[in-house]
Amino acid sequence: MFRLADYHGVAHAVHYGVLGLDQEIPQTVRQQFFDKYLESVYRVGRLQKSETQLLALMEHEKINCFYLSYSDIVKNYPIEEMCCCESIQIGSSRKGTRMIWDILIKVDFEERKTDETGKLYYRIPGIRVLNFDYKLFFSPSMRRFFKSLLKLSRLQIRNSYVRELPLDDRYLFFNVQID
């Protein structure tokens, strides 16, 4: 049961279900679920703090980009630790992608392989940044949509370069990402 939940990235959320089970579950399995739960507790705080710092860095370096607010995504869950999003997601132009890579290298990130479309950067203690450009989409209309997000999305308060996706665009973006 644990391996299946871990494979799908939901072991931390399944922990709550395991707590309420009356069935006899070995203590080692309960501990594995609890460990994943603890990881998610720490991840939420780390990513929220890092998101603020990274966005300030992107603004300081004048990189035209948009982001999918991790802090807002977490608020959609009844308990923050149930959030299955494990990375800060930043969209940028091709030129911006290269600039983001250069900046993240300077602040001790390293590139990691990922099954997701885009480039994944990682820094200990578990801070993951997923950066993608218009190649995320196959269809020309969705590529145009992506490019429009870099121009038309509202700027974050007190920023000239970093944009936050409006709720309706975020909804569309997540649905297209699923396909």
* pLDDT tens column, 110-128: 988 877 777 889 998 888 8
End-to-end CA distance of the chain: 27
* pLDDT tens column, 23-79: 788 888 888 888 888 888 888 888 888 888 998 898 899 988 888 888 888 888 888
What confidence category does residue 178 fall into, taking pLDDT thresholds of 50, 70 and 90? Answer: low
Per the CB < 8 A criterion, the answer to whether 90 and 131 are in contact is yes
Residue 73 makes CB contacts below 8 A (sequence gap 6+) with 83, 85
Per the CB < 8 A criterion, the answer to whether 32 and 2 are in contact is yes
* pLDDT tens column, 161-170: 888 877 788 8
pTM for this predicted structure: 0.79
Q: What is the pLDDT of residue 30?
A: 83
Rounded CA-CA distance 161/144 in Å is: 19
Query: What residue spans of the chain are helical by DSSP H?
Result: 2-7, 11-20, 27-60, 70-75, 94-106, 140-152, 167-178
CA-CA-CA-CA dihedral for 84, 85, 87, 93, to nearest 10 = 150
Q: What is the pLDDT of residue 175?
A: 75
165: three-class secondary structure by DSSP: coil
* pLDDT tens column, 127-151: 889 888 877 777 788 788 777 877 7
